């Protein structure tokens, strides 16, 4: 059932919200031990919130467009009265006194939050192996990672525990796990969804978005969580509706950067040929496919990692043992308290990034690193604006290959970072981008990435719906 159908069945009394919550909790109990996708379930709260939805239905009130839909949220989104840790030891025991705007909007639309999902610590990673709760596994093959950093959200949706989960995406963390687990993942335009209550990683890159089974479900979820929020000065009212269905792709202009399909840069040959098949079928449906050139692709990983670690080093400075979570008691001076708390509280990957970011921003180096990266970022934005003057969407792979095995890339950070080759561009230029399942290689899912111009989600959904249809017709 789609989210819309589920909510309608609840609103008409055919299904009970409590029953749906109960069922989701039972599935979580049954499936989570093998996956470690969920780090906390809120059984009692979820059941009583669901019962309140059922009472609204019985009283003849409108229970909302997501009435009774069980939802999971990533563990870096504030939820009042519940522990939220971003899967870091440094936040163990932290209970935020407020709820993230996107989560509150889901609740107001009748969704029932059943728990919180596993992730790479502070969203730094591409495999959900850097978590203080241990690694998450891919439901399609438990020897493989689910991708990251929103791996728990993707795995839980793919395993059928809940039909909707929220993730966050700074450089691909919604789209790459969606691709690895065979679900739809959307990173909205920067500013479309309020970041209030999201534990910041890279503030100029972070966005919250949905993981779902279909493009239609992603569009519905976006319509609930989007909008200007006075609590996030970077949030904006979307200039138009995001939902366009049933239009087909006749006349839709699709650009395919040559560099996105280059198998000499690490793209698996079988993934490239799957994408070519999909593009051929979209062309037969009437889409106009154009090859474009994007030589700056060679620079996106260094640019992204310089900007992301610089922003992270500043954002993570607040975790110092004084205000939140863990405090190491052994220090004799304030500096020692900070040092010990951060040494004990942060995992290795977070420490590496704080050190790199501090270096990139330090006097004498910031011109050579941070500022140069920022200039290149502006250049990328100009290049993408020029491409989007002639086309509606840019299409390519979401990730270079299918899900890899646990442990495979842990000792080789560069190969882990190369996972983000196709995804970080959208964050750098603040565009919307979505991954849609488009087939399998070696029995594991492959995703196609569809990127739009800022606030061009309608075109992204249109192309995504068409991709869904042509892929369903083949399988």
Which chain residues interact with ligand GLN by CB under 6 A? Answer: 123-126, 149, 169-173, 201, 308, 420
Q: How far is the CB of 126 from ligand GLN (least distance, A)?
A: 4
Whether the Cβ atoms of residue 170 and residue 315 lie closer than 8 Å to each other: no
Q: How far is the CB of 321 from ligand GLN (least distance, A)?
A: 24
Q: How far is the CB of 75 from ligand GLN (least distance, A)?
A: 13
Nearer to ligand GLN, 254 or 425 (CB): 425
Query: Which tokens sit at 381?
Result: 């934005």
Nearer to ligand GLN, 220 or 434 (CB): 434
Q: How far is the CB of 42 from ligand GLN (least distance, A)?
A: 24
Q: How far is the CB of 308 from ligand GLN (least distance, A)?
A: 5
Instruction: Go through the chain and tell me how many residues it has.
Output: 475
Which is catalytic among the residues 16, 74, 105, 126?
74
92 part of the active site: no
Q: Closest residue (Cβ) to ligand GLN?
A: 173
For residue 345, how many C-alpha atoms fall within 13 Å in the half-sphere facing its CB?
A: 28
Nearer to ligand GLN, 16 or 126 (CB): 126
Q: In what order do the strands lie in the sheet with 393-397?
A: 38-41, 112-117, 70-74, 164-169, 207-212, 184-187, 433-441, 444-452, 393-397, 253-257, 288-292
Nearer to ligand GLN, 153 or 341 (CB): 153
149 part of the active site: yes
Please give the Cα distance from 233 to 372 (Å, whole number). 26
Across the strands, what pairs with 254?
A: 289, 393
Q: How would you class 198 by CB atoms within 10 Å of its CB: exposed for 0-12, middle for 13-18, buried for 19 or more?
A: buried
Please give the Cα distance from 433 to 169 (Å, whole number). 10
Please give the Cα distance from 18 to 47 (Å, whole number). 6
Q: How far is the CB of 315 from ligand GLN (least distance, A)?
A: 12
173 part of the active site: yes
* 72 Cβ contact list (under 8 Å, min separation 6): 38, 113, 114, 115, 116, 117, 152, 153, 156, 157, 161, 162, 164, 165, 166
Nearer to ligand GLN, 151 or 454 (CB): 151
Which is catalytic among the residues 149, 150, 214, 235?
149
Containing 253, the helix (H) or strand (E) segment is strand 253-257
Which is catalytic among the residues 16, 153, 173, 194?
173
Whether the Cβ atoms of residue 74 and residue 183 lie closer than 8 Å to each other: no
Nearer to ligand GLN, 273 or 358 (CB): 358
Return the active site residues: 74, 149, 173
């Amino acid at each position: 059932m789609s989210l819309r159908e589920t909510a309608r069945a609840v609103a008409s009394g055919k299904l009970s919200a409590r029953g749906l919550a109960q069922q989701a909790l039972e599935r979580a109990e049954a499936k989570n031990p093998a996956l470690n996708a969920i780090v906390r379930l809120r059984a009692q709260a979820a059941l009583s919130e669901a019962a309140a939805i059922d009472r609204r239905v019985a009283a003849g009130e409108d229970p909302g467009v997501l009435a009774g839909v069980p939802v999971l949220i990533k563990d870096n989104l504030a939820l009042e009265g519940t522990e939220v840790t971003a899967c870091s030891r440094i936040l163990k025991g932290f209970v935020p006194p407020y709820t993230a705007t996107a989560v509150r909007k889901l609740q107001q639309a009748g969704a029932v939050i059943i728990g919180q999902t596993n992730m790479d610590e502070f969203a730094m990673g591409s495999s959900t192996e850097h978590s203080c709760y241990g690694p998450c596994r891919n439901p399609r093959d438990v020897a493989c990672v689910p991708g990251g950093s929103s791996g728990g959200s993707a795995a839980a949706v793919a395993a059928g525990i809940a039909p909707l989960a929220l993730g966050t995406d700074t450089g691909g963390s919604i789209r790459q796990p969606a691709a690895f687990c065979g679900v739809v993942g959307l990173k909205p335009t920067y500013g479309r969804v309020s970041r209030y209550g999201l534990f910041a990683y890279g503030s100029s890159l972070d966005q919250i978005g949905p993981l779902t089974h279909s493009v239609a479900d992603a569009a519905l979820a976006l319509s609930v969580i989007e909008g200007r929020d006075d609590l996030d000065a970077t949030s904006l009212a979307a200039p138009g509706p995001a939902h366009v269905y049933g239009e087909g792709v006749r006349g839709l202009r699709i650009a395919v950067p040559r560099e996105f399909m280059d198998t000499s840069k690490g793209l698996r040959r079988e993934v490239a040929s799957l994408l070519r098949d999909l593009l051929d079928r979209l062309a037969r449906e009437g889409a106009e496919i154009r090859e474009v050139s994007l030589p700056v692709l060679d620079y996106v990983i260094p640019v992204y990692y310089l900007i992301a670690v610089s922003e992270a080093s500043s954002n993570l400075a607040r975790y110092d043992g004084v205000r939140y979570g863990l405090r190491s008691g052994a220090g004799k001076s304030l500096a020692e308290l900070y040092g010990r708390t951060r040494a004990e509280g942060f995992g290795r990957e977070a420490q590496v990034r704080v050190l790199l970011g501090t270096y990139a921003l330090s006097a004498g180096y910031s011109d050579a690193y941070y500022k140069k990266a920022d200039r290149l970022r502006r250049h990328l934005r100009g290049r993408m604006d020029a491409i989007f003057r002639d086309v509606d969407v840019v299409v390519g792979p979401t990730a270079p290959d299918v899900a890899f095995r646990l442990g495979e890339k842990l000792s080789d950070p560069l190969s882990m970072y190369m996972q983000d080759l196709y995804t970080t561009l959208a964050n750098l230029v603040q565009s919307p981008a979505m991954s849609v399942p488009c087939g399998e290689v070696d029995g594991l899912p492959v995703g196609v990435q569809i990127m739009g111009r800022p606030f061009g989600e309608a075109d992204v959904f249109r192309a995504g719906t068409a991709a869904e249809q042509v892929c369903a017709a083949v399988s």
